[in-house]
Amino acid sequence: MRYGFVIDNRKCIGCHACTVACKSEHNVPLGVNRTHVKYVEKGVFPNSVRKFSVHRCNHCEDAPCTTICPTSALYSRADGIVDFDNDRCIGCKSCMQACPYDALYIDPNTHTAAKCNYCAHRVDGGYEPACVVVCPVEAIVSGDLDDPQSKIATLVATEPVTVRKPEKNTRPSLYYLEGDAFMLNTSESPKQDGYAWSEQRGGVGHFAASAGQNLKADDRIIGMVANELNDKAQLNGDAQAQRVYDAPSKGVLWGWEVPAYLCTKAAAVGVFLMAYLFKALGYALSESSEQKVLITALVFLTLTAALLVKDLDRPDRFLYVLLRPNWDSWLVRGAYIITGFGMITTALLANSFLHLSLSWLAWPGMVLAVLGAVYTAFLLAQAKARDLWQSPMASLTMLLAAISAGSVLLGLLDPGSAAWVVLTLKIALPLNVGLVALEIFTPHVSTDAKRATHIMTHGAYARTFYAGILLGNLLPLVLLLAFGTSLMLPAGLLVLFGIGVAEFLRVHVPQLIPLS
């Protein structure tokens, strides 16, 4: 058994009865929706057309939200319904970054994730979902896709149905009849600066905070990209589709805390890794310097944990990541990596004072430091909705960030390591520039990735991007090549600036691309 939906756009009249029924059935708060109807227009009067696109959870066979969820708050039932458990959700918003269909939201009352759950309580009682019952033209068809005798299976088998974003390989169970590309493909009807009823885009609850702070600037950025697409369409003689009614925007989901956490994590694992790597290669690391390194690593690790907890909408449940883990999620794996790294760092610090013969822990500590540096790349890759986060170079750039940040901190804590630090940065900085060039300037197949890189390299964040490259990579490299250890301090501070810029752009810019 596999439940699914067919939206028959030949019948849909855009009445929003499904949206209202869903809100009533599940007591959905104002400003968020489990199902909503988008209006899209294309053409020039009198040769114009308006279409309605019903958006909701696609109940995917391979649901990325269930994979990335650290506490199994989202899960797939045996009948194909993707359901959620409010009591397990920590409000990390990872599921929202993973869903290509923008189907999830944070409930402003419970501060936990929610979405269409196929009215599972009604289905279990033998009834159809509320939206199906209320639709006045029977444009929503539900049923068992595995039953060849069912109406929905017959429609899917005999009619030219389509799905949203098939390239994501999620195998969605939501099909559209006459689902034109300009209705279902976000890039075909880009977000505009303003349209009828667009004032609702501010959102409520979590989205009011993020959208209210970011939408003015970020909508302007997206509007710039949309205008360019419109200009290209006009040059090609095409009529660009436009939205005339849409759901409120969720804004930027992961704010400053996430790039800040990437920086503090890189510093924590990096200073540990470089100190013991230099020591293994023959550098005479003094006992006092080792203690400074371990204390610094623990301080930055504590900041990392604090930033992660602050970003949660349910910080009171942060321990659920360790106590109720979903081992498929890299957020869980990362939490255990960081916890293990912290325990080893603490043990080595105790060993440096009490001489407990635990020096051998440095080797597993270095392994965990490398894993701690790169695991976030795999977490971002699980966020399938953000195409630029799928880069295979992300793990290498994060490792280089940890090596660079750790080397700079080690140079500040132990001036005797300056020559080793300078040599490391001379190798790491050009490698980093080369990887960034490959990551950003290599042609992208995905439209969303192209738009994100355009914003970064030619749009509103171009100055920030090139400042990070020039001031955070090339200038310190020149200073180190020309002056060596004598200018290690200013060069090191510039390197840290470059890492901060890179992590901000990595996290922020892909979130500016609308998913629906």
Same domain, 115 and 174: yes
Task: Give bridge partners of residue 245 from the DSSP assignment.
Answer: 39
In a domain, 27, yes or no: yes
Question: Which structural domain range is residue 328 located in?
Answer: 257-512
The answer to whether position 355 is within a domain reads yes
459 occurs within a structural domain: yes
> Tens digit of pLDDT for each residue in 341-360?
999 999 999 999 999 999 99
Count of the separate structural domains present in the chain? 2
168 and 97 share one domain: yes
If asked whether residues 308 and 385 sit together in one domain, one would say yes
Q: Are 180 and 33 members of one domain?
A: yes
Select from 215, 243, 271 the last residue of a domain.
243
Same domain, 297 and 180: no
Give the tens place of pLDDT for each residue, 117-162. 999 999 999 999 999 999 999 999 999 999 999 999 999 999 999 9
CATH number for the domain harbouring residue 195? 3.30.70.20
**Maximal CA-CA distance, the chain:** 85
pLDDT in the model for residue 235: 45
Sheet holding 161-162, edge to edge: 140-144, 3-8, 174-177, 161-162
- Does 249 reside within a domain? no
List of residues 6+ apart from 510 with CB closer than 8 A: 386, 387, 388, 389, 448, 452
Q: What is this structure's pTM? A: 0.91
263 and 223 in a common domain: no
pLDDT in tens, the chain (516 residues): 999 999 999 999 999 999 999 999 999 998 889 999 999 888 888 888 889 999 999 999 999 999 999 999 999 999 999 999 999 999 999 999 999 999 999 999 999 999 999 999 999 999 999 999 999 999 999 999 999 999 999 999 999 999 999 999 999 999 999 888 888 888 777 666 565 555 555 555 555 555 444 445 555 555 555 555 454 444 444 557 788 888 877 888 999 999 999 999 999 999 999 999 999 999 999 999 999 999 999 999 999 999 999 999 999 999 999 999 999 999 999 999 999 999 999 999 999 999 999 999 999 999 999 999 999 999 999 999 999 999 999 999 999 999 999 999 999 999 999 999 999 999 999 999 999 999 888 888 888 999 899 999 998 899 999 999 999 999 999 999 999 999 999 999 999 999 999 999 999 999 998 888
- Beta strands 105-106 and 3-8 are unpaired
Convert 384-402 into a string of H (helix), E (strand) and C (coil): CCCHHHHCCCHHHHHHHHH
Pairing of β 3-8 and β 174-177: parallel
Same domain, 322 and 465: yes
Do 101 and 42 lie in a common domain? Answer: yes
CATH number of the domain enclosing 262: 1.20.1630.10
Does some domain include residue 251? no
AA identity, residue 233: A
Per the DSSP assignment, residues forming a β-bridge with 314 are none
Which domain-ending residue is among 214, 243, 272?
Answer: 243
475 with 354, same domain?
Answer: yes
Coil/strand/helix, residue 173: coil
CA distances from 234 to 227, 228, 229, 238, 243 (A): 10, 10, 9, 6, 17
> Which are the contacts of 50, defined by CB distance < 8 A and separation ≥ 6?
14, 39, 40, 41, 244
